[in-house]
Amino acid sequence: MKSRVFILYTGGTFGMKTSDTGGLAPSSWDEIIDYLPAIKNQTFFHYFSDIEFTFETLEPVIDSSDITPEAWERIAQKIEENYKDNDGFIVIHGTDTLAYTSSALSFVFENLDKPIVLTGAQLPIFHPRTDGIVNLSNAIYIAGHKAFGIECIPEVCICFNDDVLRGNRAVKTSTNDFEGFSSPNFENLANLEQNITVNSYLLYRRNTKDLRLLSNFSNKVVNVTIFPGYSPLSLIDLINTNKIDGIVLKTFGAGNIPTGKDWTRLIEACEKHNTIVLATTQCPNGKIELGQYESSKSLNSSIVIDGKDITSEAALTKLMWVIGNFTEDKRCKMLTNNLRGEIS
């Protein structure tokens, strides 16, 4: 069966080349595609698998450390513009912020019924040992599912090495290992070995509703990691001067924070100014359980949301997205709900 795949190149290590100064700088898609003959000439994928590609570059090309909510919106708009004409989408992206972008896009797209696959590389496509070719080829199988008789994964996902991970469940775990990403509290959506196995029972069900984009993100959010000796006084000042609307609070263990009076004052300030606290754990595995220990009792407030087993990247992007798109009276409920499979 014929399949149409839209590939959007945004930048990142995948397309880096050595510049005149000796450092790495982004290259153009035309330069990159010379190293991908199976795609450039549409040889293997076109003649043997009946896939038709459309390529586009998000100009200007972005280093992943420069990714912003505005870039997320531009990526989403490109996909929306090409949505009806394609069966799947691939976003080539830098690895440093890949998990943030995949999480953000998962919330942006409501009623998604086609795969949006993010991928990248630990070594540039120009490197003789690049992992970019394998990663992109695997992503094509997921995005071009019709041509291969593979079950559709109607989600934003990350395809890296031999893993397909839910986009809002993934974290970057290595700067040099080709594995690159993992999903600490959730199984792979698919495994790409000699045979491709899709874990159907994990997938969101496809629907017939129209695609809807909600792409506003608040910039009045902070990510705070508690550490021994940390004082929340500066945070209280930001709340009292209405400079922030939300806090991702990375607690100790299962939701524990220090028991001093300043922490009580912090929660009181949040209640007064309707500043939401999304409580998460610093541990890569497991979840928080507010109230399990005495030291989490001060978080017993209607303004504090139990983040359960959400990743740091998904917590931040979900909070930014909820505050950016919903009124105060709806925000706590939206954060509590499992919207895109980001929490269990």
- Strand, helix or coil for residue 39: helix
Predicted local confidence at residue 43, as pLDDT: 58
Predicted local confidence at residue 33, as pLDDT: 77
Predicted local confidence at residue 294, as pLDDT: 61
Q: Is the pLDDT of residue 41 over 60?
A: no
Q: pLDDT by residue (tens digit) across 76-90?
A: 999 999 999 999 999
Helix, strand, coil % in the chain, rounded to nearest 5: 35, 20, 45
pTM: 0.93
Predicted local confidence at residue 204, as pLDDT: 84
Q: Is the pLDDT of residue 201 over 70?
A: yes
Q: Is the pLDDT of residue 296 over 90?
A: no
Structural domain boundaries, residue 43? 3-213
Query: Nearest Cα to 75, choosing from 93, 87, 97, 51?
Result: 93
Predicted local confidence at residue 316, as pLDDT: 98
Among positive and negative, which fits the CA dihedral 77, 222, 172, 127? positive
Residue 293 confidence class, pLDDT cut points 50, 70, 90: low
- Residues 127 and 239 placed together within one structural domain of the fold: no
Mean pLDDT value across the chain? 90
Give ∠ CA 197-199-201 in degrees, rounded to 5. 155
- Residues 61 and 205 placed together within one structural domain of the fold: yes
Question: CB-based contacts of 59: which residues, under 8 Å, 6+ apart?
Answer: none
- Residues 192 and 243 placed together within one structural domain of the fold: no
Select from 181, 213, 245 the last residue of a domain. 213
Predicted local confidence at residue 124, as pLDDT: 84
- Residues 303 and 239 placed together within one structural domain of the fold: yes
- Residues 154 and 200 placed together within one structural domain of the fold: yes
- Residues 171 and 265 placed together within one structural domain of the fold: no
Domain CATH number, residue 246 = 3.40.50.40
Is residue 343 in some structural domain?
Answer: no
- Residues 138 and 101 placed together within one structural domain of the fold: yes
Is residue 150 in some structural domain?
Answer: yes
Q: What is the DSSP letter of 48?
A: I
Residue predicted with more confidence, 46 or 70 = 70
Tell me what the mean pLDDT of segment 23-45 comes to. 69
Is residue 156 in some structural domain?
Answer: yes
- Active-site residue, selected from the candidate residues 13, 57, 97, 275: 13
Question: CB-based contacts of 333: which residues, under 8 Å, 6+ apart?
Answer: none
- Residues 247 and 110 placed together within one structural domain of the fold: no
Do 156 and 116 contact (CB within 8 A), yes or no?
A: yes
Predicted local confidence at residue 50, as pLDDT: 80
Q: pLDDT by residue (tens digit) across 226-274?
A: 999 999 999 999 999 999 999 999 999 888 999 889 999 999 999 999 9
Select from 172, 192, 213 the last residue of a domain. 213
Give ∠ CA 70-166-208 in degrees, rounded to 5. 80
Query: Nearest Cα to 228, choosing from 256, 200, 248?
Result: 256
- Residues 302 and 239 placed together within one structural domain of the fold: yes
Domain CATH number, residue 71 = 3.40.50.1170
Select from 155, 185, 213 the last residue of a domain. 213
- Residues 70 and 135 placed together within one structural domain of the fold: yes
Q: Percentage of the chain surpassing pLDDT 70?
A: 92
Is residue 344 in some structural domain?
Answer: no
Which of the residue ranges 44-53, 66-75, 100-109, 214-223 would you say has the lowest mean pLDDT? 44-53
Is residue 341 in some structural domain?
Answer: no
Q: Is the pLDDT of residue 46 over 60?
A: no
Which token pair is 239?
């709340």
Which of the residue ranges 134-138, 152-156, 169-173, 204-208 would you say has the lowest mean pLDDT? 204-208
Is residue 295 in some structural domain?
Answer: yes
Predicted local confidence at residue 198, as pLDDT: 96
- Residues 230 and 97 placed together within one structural domain of the fold: no
- Residues 139 and 103 placed together within one structural domain of the fold: yes
Q: Is 54 annotated as catalytic?
A: no
Is residue 342 in some structural domain?
Answer: no
* Total number of domains constituting the chain: 2
